[in-house]
Homo-oligomer: A and B are copies of this chain.
Amino acid sequence: MQFAAAPNKLGKQTILYSNPPQVVSFAAIVGDVEGQGRFGQEFDLVLEDDLWGEDSWEKAECKMFQQAVQTAAQKAELELTQIDFLLGGDLLNQIISSNFAARQLGLPFLGLYGACSTMAESLLLGSMIVSAWNASCVACVTGSHFSAAERQYRYPLEYGNQRTPTSQRTVTGSGATILADGGCNATNIFVTHGTVGRVVDLGITDLNNMGAAMAPGAADTIVSHLKDTERTAEDYDLIVTGDLGTYGAELCRQLCKEKGYDISKVHMDCGDRIFLPQQDPHAGGSGCGCSAVVLNGVLYKKMLEGTYNRILFLATGALMNPDISLQGESIPGIAHAVVLERRGQ
Chain A interface (Cβ < 8 Å from any Cβ of B): 1-9, 12-13, 15, 24, 55-56, 58-59, 76-78, 82, 84-85, 89, 92-96, 99-100, 102-103, 106-115, 121, 124-125, 128-129, 131-137, 152, 180-181, 183-184, 186, 196-201, 319-321, 323-324, 327, 329, 332, 334
Measured in the bound complex, the distance between the Cα atoms of B102 and A100 in whole Å is: 28
Lowest 8 A-B CB distances belong to which pairs? A132-B132, A3-B136, A108-B196, A113-B113, A103-B199, A102-B199, A94-B321, A99-B319
The closest CB in chain B to the CB of A92 belongs to: B321
The closest CB in chain B to the CB of A12 belongs to: B108
CB-based contact A332/B99 at 8 Å = yes
Instruction: Report chain B residues within 8 Å CB of A89.
Output: 113
Contact of A324 among B77, B78, B84, B96 (CB under 8 A): B96
Measured in the bound complex, the distance between the Cα atoms of B151 and A67 in whole Å is: 34
CB-based contact B128/A132 at 8 Å = yes
Measured in the bound complex, the distance between the Cα atoms of B137 and A5 in whole Å is: 9
Instruction: Report chain B residues within 8 Å CB of A186.
Output: 1
Contact of A323 among B8, B58, B107, B324 (CB under 8 A): B58
The closest CB in chain B to the CB of A124 belongs to: B110
The closest CB in chain B to the CB of A121 belongs to: B110
Instruction: Report chain B residues within 8 Å CB of A1.
Output: 24, 76-78, 82, 180, 184, 186
CB-based contact A107/B198 at 8 Å = yes
